[in-house]
Structure 1
Amino acid sequence: MPFDPVRASRDELKNFLERASRPELMAALQTIDTAFPDQEITGHLGGFYDAASRALLDEITELRALVSRGSTEDGTPFDRSASGGFQARGAAYDRAMRTVDAAVQRGQLPAYGAERVETLLTTGLPVSRSLTARWATAAGDPAYETAFAKLASDPERGHLLWTREEGDAYRRAVAVRDEMRAMSLTGNAGGHMVPLTLDPAVILTSDGSANPLRRISRVVQTATNEWRGVTSAGATAEWIGESQEVADGSPVLAQPAIPVHKGDSFVPYSFEVGMDAVDLLGELRLVLVDAADQLMATGYTTGTGVGQPTGIVTALAGTSSEINTGGTEAMVAADAYTLQNALGARWQPNAQWVAHLATINTFAQFETANGSLKFPELRVSPRQLLGRPMNELSNMDGSINAAATANNYVMIYGDFNNFVIVDRIGTQMELVPHLFGANRRPTGQRGAFLWFRTGSDSVNDSAFRMLDVPTTA
């Protein structure tokens, strides 16, 4: 359904203005002109009309200038992509990729982190790609990393030890940080943008955590407040005779939106640790990122979606994807077959299992009538169940209390490409110069307060089946 600006709220108009294409803006302005042919447009609708008109005029003026000289804003030629649109690969992109490649070569950035940055640089709206390029260049500058390390070592006087290059790098990073805040609906005052090699949105993986969701799900990065995708149950095809009218096979498209939520991690460190700035960044990377990973693991599994990510368990609970056990307040071996058989055929090729270790061990102990193991493949590495990979997810229910009235969500089977994890780039850190004890005297410690933004949700519940073992007190 076309967007109706006349009936939209202030927030809806703001969100539309941020993401609308040129044709959508023109259609919205035409709708307002039709509704108010001879009337003054006031209030938030009038503000939207003025802002949309200016944005449209600026975009058309810039496009005409670019086309007239046949180049991008960086002065490099346009490349016409296979889809017929313009795709700019200019100096900003080149600088960002050189910065990322250098970090990989120094061993400070894993290859998958570089791939995530490159994906951001080549997808999404032009304004998002441009901001990503400036962020990667500024946050990945080695001079900014050493400037940040000196601040972490001494938050009050570390800047006095900066070289000219470090000072320039810090100012460039601050400019990008402020631009990111300006684009954010929940901007924060204070704080330093963390170096590229310390950003959880870039370097987090499932290593060292019993959280497989980052490994098996679809993980995307964004430079905005939410990720928007497009899902569909698929178009239909048909066999048809000569000269017959074809059926309407149009798919029903949905546009799921996943917001990012603020999380934080705080770690104290002694003055002695801070004396070695290089080792300090390495320690902060290990401790802070691990703490963030553990928090995210819980959010991605059982998060409520209110002020935190929507977990996969939360997304599926109460939907048609939830299937009750065939046992009485306990799992039975047949549950595995029931769950797998209930999933649609189109999701089966990429389907995987997730369950708590205790649940995995329960199924590993099921025996046939003659004493053989029903699922021997659960006792080898890598584990499998009924021919599909089994992953340990420690945040799921692992014990069932028959004396309580509760739902126990013990196992999920499905195609986890339909569970999306969104990370917002531009993580920030506040450095606390002095920490104080219970008697309000210094402890000889400083503090690193990291905050980040992430979100998650299922974009297609039909791609999953979840086993519930309900109990009644």
Structure 2
Amino acid sequence: MTRRDPWAPSGHATPSELRSRALTAVERWDCADTLKDAATGRLEALQRDDVKGVAEHVIRYSDPLYVEAFRAFARDPETFAGDLEPEQRRVWASNREYARAALGTAGAVLPSPMDPAITLTNEGVTDPMRQLARVQVTNSKSHRFITSAGSTFSYDAELAEVSDDTFTESEITIETEKAQGYIEASLEVYADQPNFATEVARIIADGKARLDAEMFVKGTGATSPQGIFTELAGTASDIAAAGEALTPDDIYGLIESLPPRWRAAAAWQLEYSTVDAVHRMWNPTGTEPPLLEGGQLLRRPYHENSEFDAYSAVDDTAAGTNRLMVVGDWSQFAIVDRAGTSVHYIPPGVIRGANGRPDGRVGWYCTWRSGSGVLVPNAFRMLTLTTAV
């Protein structure tokens, strides 16, 4: 049996057919298996409303004709078009037109195998958020999530009228916010780099990973993703430590205050020096095993997050607020990535030196959109240690 070409025109396809074609396309990508696995996971986790748009995007921008055209563009943005084969030129022009109309960008869209919104792997930070959270790829500016506290049923007497136990739904909308980055290189470095397209994609992926790691924890939600610290601060889920030093009772009390509904699937996040401090703690009697053992903290998995406040930085001689750890069901924290990272080339002569004359630099301006937020605040508990002068 001959497998169908996933990039062949197909007319009107159903969402399930498009997802199947996109998964087949991913299998044929010329890239590392880790990137293929990440893209496959993104496609399989898509909610129904996003399947068609995201699957079409993956297919469109992983077409080998487009990938090769993009590599030619990255090598020589000014004259590359003359070196393209007719079919490459056709696909490049079609996809650039689609990017202007559907994605609202005049830039060149990164090929799907290079797009960190689809194949993101973290570099330079220890950030377990994407591993633990509910990650959604979309082709729109926002994504809606439905949450509910559930229904409360009852046992009643014979012939007693049943109560109205209809559950109440809440709708949480997470907006994707624009992030941007800028890369410069001398003409010499640019000309001497044999695989500049891959290098630009790697730099963008690393920059996105480091920025998102910070925003998912501390982002304000104004023009950035909403971080877990921002969302929980000052709520009933924000639990104060008893004193100015971390104690086992603080840790016991934190998970005990987490409702049973969320405790079963709970996991911890904390910074490395806090992990180190907890390693040294025994329970108050000193006769039990350590709190941290076998990759678990009080029988729940723990994960190091380099963006959490560090216990080693707590200064009990100065006023400060230190958010040391969060425990909860991380499926109630959502990350939304909009497919379509774009790059714009800045040619020689545009970038100028101090006296306004060209100095031999070229640039790459890149943009993408992501958002995050807590779906159910009661699914988490955050330990805050406050120090005073």
Quick check: 2:278–2:292 contact (8 Å CA) kept in 1? no
The letter for the 2-side match of 1:297 is A
TM-score by length of 1: 0.73
Shift in CA distance, 415/142, structure 1 to aligned 2, threshold 3 Å: same
Q: Which runs of 5+ in 2 are unaligned?
A: 1-9
Residue in structure 2 matched with residue 452 of structure 1 by the alignment = 368
Shift in CA distance, 373/155, structure 1 to aligned 2, threshold 3 Å: farther
RCO (CA 8 Å, sep 6+): is it higher in 1 or 2?
2
Deviation string 1:332-391 (CA, Å, 9 cap, x unpaired) is 12111000100011111110111111211111122467877862635x5xx321111111
Quick check: 2:225–2:371 contact (8 Å CA) kept in 1? yes
Is the aligned partner of 1:98 residue 2:14? Answer: no
Shift in CA distance, 331/109, structure 1 to aligned 2, threshold 3 Å: closer
* Number of aligned residues: 376
The letter for the 2-side match of 1:246 is V
The letter for the 1-side match of 2:261 is R
Residue in structure 2 matched with residue 117 of structure 1 by the alignment = 43
Look up the SS of the partner of 2:235 in the other structure. Answer: coil
The letter for the 1-side match of 2:266 is A
**Aligned match for 2:227, one of 300, 311, 332:** 311
Residue in structure 1 matched with residue 329 of structure 2 by the alignment = 415
CA distance in 2, matches of 1:425, 1:207: 20
Shift in CA distance, 341/244, structure 1 to aligned 2, threshold 3 Å: same
Residue in structure 2 matched with residue 281 of structure 1 by the alignment = 197
How does 1:143-222 map onto structure 2 within 5 Å?
143-181=65-103, 187-188=104-105, 190-206=106-122, 209-222=125-138
The structure 1 segments of at least 4 consecutive aligned residues displaced by more than 6 Å after TM superposition are 369-373
Look up the SS of the partner of 1:149 in the other structure. Answer: helix
How does 1:4-23 map onto structure 2 within 5 Å?
none
Quick check: 1:180–1:426 contact (8 Å CA) kept in 2? no
How does 1:246-325 map onto structure 2 within 5 Å?
246-272=162-188, 274-275=190-191, 279-325=195-241
CA distance in 2, matches of 1:241, 1:104: 66
The letter for the 1-side match of 2:48 is G
The Cα RMSD (Å) is 2.6
Quick check: 1:209–1:294 contact (8 Å CA) kept in 2? yes
Q: How many angstroms does 1:218 deviate by?
A: 0.9
Q: How many angstroms does 1:261 deviate by?
A: 0.5
TM-score by length of 2: 0.88
**Aligned match for 1:393, one of 305, 326, 329:** 305
Look up the SS of the partner of 1:304 in the other structure. Answer: coil
Shift in CA distance, 207/154, structure 1 to aligned 2, threshold 3 Å: closer
Look up the SS of the partner of 1:284 in the other structure. Answer: helix
CA distance in 2, matches of 1:445, 1:75: 46
Q: How many angstroms does 1:201 deviate by?
A: 0.8
Q: Which runs of 5+ in 1 are unaligned?
A: 1-72, 77-86, 182-186
Shift in CA distance, 75/396, structure 1 to aligned 2, threshold 3 Å: closer
Quick check: 1:150–1:277 contact (8 Å CA) kept in 2? no
Higher strand fraction: Structure 1 or Structure 2? Answer: 2
Higher helix fraction: Structure 1 or Structure 2? Answer: 1
Residue in structure 2 matched with residue 8 of structure 1 by the alignment = none
Is the aligned partner of 1:341 residue 2:263? Answer: no
Quick check: 1:154–1:274 contact (8 Å CA) kept in 2? no
Shift in CA distance, 157/351, structure 1 to aligned 2, threshold 3 Å: same
The letter for the 2-side match of 1:404 is A
